[in-house]
Amino acid sequence: EHFAKERCLLPAEAYPQYRSRAVETPWWRLTERSRRVPESVLDAVLAELSEIGPATSAALTDHGAVQALDWSGWKGTGRMTTMALEILWTRCEVVVAGRTPGGAKIYDLPARALPDHHDAPTALPFHEWALLERVDAAGLMTTATGPIWGMLREVRDTLPRRLIEEGALVEVTVEGSRRTYLARPTVTRASRRSQDDRMRILGPLDPLLWDRKLVEQVFGFEYVWEVYKPAAERRWGWYVCPLLHRGRLVGRLEARVNGDRLEAQRLWRQEGEAFDDEAFEAALARHASCLELSSTSRSRRAR
């Protein structure tokens, strides 16, 4: 886990890039936290984790309370030990090595958690590596400013030009849109790959959905993640996932875990798109298996 466009799950191979970046800019996303936690507490937390890790924050010595950070109503931790771990994590001095069944982060030293990657060299400068990774993840990445350029805004005007000149990227347009996009040179070949018959349940932050204007342009599918909206203002629901099938966005699903069962609570079929109920049932079954649940069910509004 670390920051990419936002906080993300990343392949272990990415760690050396983040380690290098954190060393170059030790204040990176740390200013407010670092004002609250003394360096002596950071040293103590790191030493204890070195001795007993992997461990959760709750398993470490309690260093007292701290003023929590508040981002637009989302309140952070008020425990100094937890905030110290967040600082050490951002510096890449510790990593998130897992989660408890209740979702608490399990921290450990990089040398133990990532033995094959913790001291590996980096092949590219951070910004170049990060931009290529992001284009690979999104497929098409708008050249216009916006959230997709998080962490890369300082190089938005210069780095893409250089990578285009070097042949690592190309600039493309989408029919019906005036915007331009960055893509890999293989983008036209990739678009012709045959589709399998699986329906996919997409997470709200899946890279395919990052550029909502592009999603609407290409798929005719309007999507907003409404988790931050008051309930009365939601059009669909709190945690609604798009359904991808045969290269089209064919519907939306709201589901929850109920005991040992994955329960589809609501299903919206996309107007004008064919919907394969058998493929949907198979997608639910695969998702339940990933969550180690024993069965699936569909409410009346998900039929």
63, 81 in Cβ contact below 8 A?
yes
pLDDT reported for residue 70: 72
- How does pLDDT run across 271-285, given as a tens digit for each residue? 999 999 999 999 999
| Cα separations in angstroms, 61 against 47, 88, 91 | 11, 16, 21
**Dihedral sign of CA atoms 156, 158, 161, 164 in order:** negative
Q: Residue 69 pLDDT more than 90?
A: no
Q: Is the peptide bond before 115 cis (omega within 30 degrees of 0)?
A: no
Tell me the domains of the chain and their CATH numbers: 2-113 (no CATH), 126-190 (1.10.10.10), 199-302 (no CATH)
94, 125 in Cβ contact below 8 A?
no
DSSP 280-302: HHHHHHHHHHHTT-SEEEE-GGG
Q: Which amino acid is at 104?
A: A
- The set of residues, in sequence order, having a beta carbon less than 8 Å from that of 174 and lying 6+ positions away, is 140, 181, 214, 217, 218
- The strand pairing partners of 142, in sequence order, are 181
What percentage of residues in the chain have a pLDDT greater than 70? 94
pLDDT reported for residue 67: 85
- How does pLDDT run across 199-255, given as a tens digit for each residue? 999 999 898 998 999 999 999 999 999 988 899 999 999 999 999 999 999 999 999
Q: What is the C-alpha to C-alpha distance for residues 65 and 91, in angstroms, rounded to an integer?
A: 22
The model's confidence at residue 37, banded by pLDDT at 50, 70 and 90, is: very high
Q: What is the C-alpha to C-alpha distance for residues 259 and 250, in angstroms, rounded to an integer?
A: 28
- How does pLDDT run across 138-197, given as a tens digit for each residue? 999 999 988 889 888 899 999 999 999 999 999 999 988 889 999 999 887 765 556 789
b/e 253-271 (16+ beta carbons within 10 angstroms → b): bbbeeeeeebbbbbbbebe
pLDDT reported for residue 188: 76
pLDDT reported for residue 9: 85
Instruction: List the Cα angle 29/30/34 in 5-degree steps.
Output: 170
Q: Which amino acid is at 17?
A: Q
Q: Residue 72 pLDDT more than 80?
A: no
b/e 46-79 (16+ beta carbons within 10 angstroms → b): beebeeebbbbbeebeebeebeeeeeeeeebbeb
